[in-house]
Amino acid sequence: MFIMIPSNKVIALEARLRDCKNVITLGVRPNFNDYNSQEADLIRNAETIYYPTTFYADLFDAMGKNTFPSYHTYKCVQDKIKHSALFAMLNIPHPRTRVFYGKRQKATITDHFDYPFIGKIPRGSAMGRGVYLIKEHKDLEVYLNSTDTAYVQDFLPVKRDIRIVVIGKKIVHAYWRLAPPGEFRTNLAVGGTVCLDDVPADALDLALHTAHRCQWDDVGIDICENNGCYYVLEANMKYGKEGFRAAGIDYIRLMETLIENEEI
């Protein structure tokens, strides 16, 4: 039975757009047969599936079905190793980064980096969690005990950075994040604050260039300035909404409008 989707409605699986008036949210069911026949037909016949999850994004790509975010965006969710490799391949400015596997490679970290440097949990971490400022050997030991794979970066001593959110093909919001006293991280989850001062055009251009080259269409890109140069620190496909709220931007209405205008 062919099920028609109302012309003003789109289909989503994840709950991110559940409050949007022009979105039908079906929920995520890893067993596809758990969708009833009407729901399954809605999914099969939809031109685009919104927020399909990493699991279904792979499958929809194999079927040739469009998704939002893009398949390429989902392939890089919370994987800093892929991010850094892609930045290097595309010649996108990024703090010097190296990945170390196994005890033998990890023993050479200080051959490549001088203290202080940054260590991160390379996969699955967010909101500033899993980020270590390594000032001496005992800090390095603590970090290495927390991860099987060491992801190590140069430390850029900045007190603020910029979060730039790209949705579809355009920037929808940009703001500064200020580190709290005594903290090297700017993440709002660890006490950082939003500052709505103007964001330099060079930073905006770099974020948009990065999103387009990486084929990411729903991403928060973090950028900092150090010694007159801008660097992409990382990309966040599961960014928070605090910056939108601080600026008085209604995220749900924004997404409704982007869908209505067929921008996503």
Domain harbouring 116, CATH code: 3.30.1490.20
Query: CATH code at 188?
Result: 3.30.470.20
Contacts of 102 (CB under 8 A, 6+ apart): none
Tokens describing residue 71: 């398949």
The predicted structure's pLDDT at residue 190 = 86
167 and 255 in a common domain: yes
In a domain? residue 91 = no
Rounded-to-integer distance, Cα 141 and Cα 156, Å: 21
63 and 25 in a common domain: yes
Rounded-to-integer distance, Cα 61 and Cα 56, Å: 8
In the predicted model, residues of the chain with pLDDT beneath 70 are 1-7, 125-128
In a domain? residue 64 = yes
The predicted structure's pLDDT at residue 127 = 57
The predicted structure's pLDDT at residue 85 = 97
Indicate yes or no: pTM above 0.85. yes
Tokens describing residue 31: 């067993």
Last residue of a domain, one of 111, 131, 154: 154
218 and 127 in a common domain: no
What SS3 state is found at 248? Answer: coil
Separation in Å, CA 233 to CA 40, 162, 225: 40, 10, 10
124 and 60 in a common domain: no
pLDDT digits (tens, 9 = 90+) for 187-204: 888 889 999 999 999 999
Q: Are strands 10-12 and 23-25 parallel, antiparallel or unpaired?
A: parallel
Rounded-to-integer distance, Cα 162 and Cα 175, Å: 6
In a domain? residue 115 = yes
In a domain? residue 16 = yes
Please give the residue range of the domain that contains residue 193.
160-260
Tokens describing residue 3: 């099920």
Last residue of a domain, one of 154, 180, 202: 154
Separation in Å, CA 110 to CA 82, 95, 100, 116, 134: 23, 17, 11, 10, 11
193 and 118 in a common domain: no
Number of domains in the chain: 3
